């Protein structure tokens, strides 16, 4: 692994005015050792930068060229050699590769609903045996209908069912809030692929 100085979880958010890494990415660290990680739907890189500073070899994919340019500028300024930034449309569901850890936080809701199952299956195929997937995704249930018009939301138990046969290290369907304070139910999962 590439050696980089260990940075506080808030280093990049404080220095570049971005959101801090997702709390679930930080909480996953005791379970997931540095290796090859894919940040799927990376945006401007809050998770990718944090993971790179922790010694992971990061591939950061997103469809938004402006967000990727922001990330590339930060990577250059921070002299991080262990982040590969690429433009990629998640709808393709053709990641390829063999990753130790795939992170997909608060992005599935922006996909066309009919593509979500294929994207999840592609994540699973692209994870090595014993590797991990971390997903945080918006839900809409009878008890807590989604108040935002996202193209896609998960139903009750849907994410758990998609990961049948994987070891669920964490799974919940709790209420939370978006960055703008809107209350929303989220499915949160850290799962390990069988060896």
pTM for the structure as a whole: 0.92
Element at 132 (helix H, strand E): strand 127-138
- Which pLDDT value is given to residue 11? 75
CATH class of 11-192: alpha beta
pLDDT at position 165, please? Answer: 97
Q: What is the mean pLDDT of each run of 10 residues along the chain (195 residues)?
A: 58 83 94 96 96 96 97 95 96 94 96 97 98 97 93 97 98 89 93 97
Q: What is the pLDDT of residue 182?
A: 82
Q: Write the Ramachandran bin of 81: left for phi over 0, alpha for psi from -120 to 50, otherwise beta.
A: alpha
Q: In the block, which residue shows the tokens 């795939």?
A: 102
Report how far residue 135's alpha carbon sits from residue 153's, in angstroms, rounded to the nearest whole number.
13
What's the pLDDT at 15? 84
Confidence at residue 6, expressed as pLDDT on a 0 to 100 scale: 61
Task: Select from 129, 160, 110, 136 the least CA-distant residue to 21.
Answer: 136
Q: Are 153 and 174 in contact (CB under 8 A)?
A: no
Q: In 3-state terms, what secondary structure has residue 96?
A: coil
């Amino acid at each position: 692994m590439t050696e980089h100085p260990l940075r506080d979880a808030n280093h990049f958010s404080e220095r570049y005015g971005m959101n801090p890494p997702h709390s679930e990415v930080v909480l996953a660290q005791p379970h997931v050792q540095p290796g090859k990680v894919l940040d799927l739907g990376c945006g401007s890189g809050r998770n990718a930068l944090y993971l790179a500073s922790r010694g992971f070899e990061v591939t950061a994919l997103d469809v938004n060229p402006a967000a990727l340019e922001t990330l590339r500028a930060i990577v250059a300024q921070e002299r991080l050699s262990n982040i590969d930034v690429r433009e990629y449309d998640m709808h393709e569901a053709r990641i390829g590769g063999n990753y130790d850890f795939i992170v997909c936080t608060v992005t599935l809701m922006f996909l066309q609903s009919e593509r979500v199952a294929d994207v999840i299956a592609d994540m699973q195929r692209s994870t090595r045996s014993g590797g991990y997937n971390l997903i945080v995704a918006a839900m809409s249930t009878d008890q807590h209908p989604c108040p935002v018009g996202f193209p896609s939301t998960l139903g009750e138990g849907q994410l758990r069912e998609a990961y049948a046969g994987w070891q669920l290290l964490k799974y919940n369907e709790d209420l939370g809030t978006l960055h703008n304070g809107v209350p929303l139910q989220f499915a949160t999962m850290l799962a390990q692929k069988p060896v």
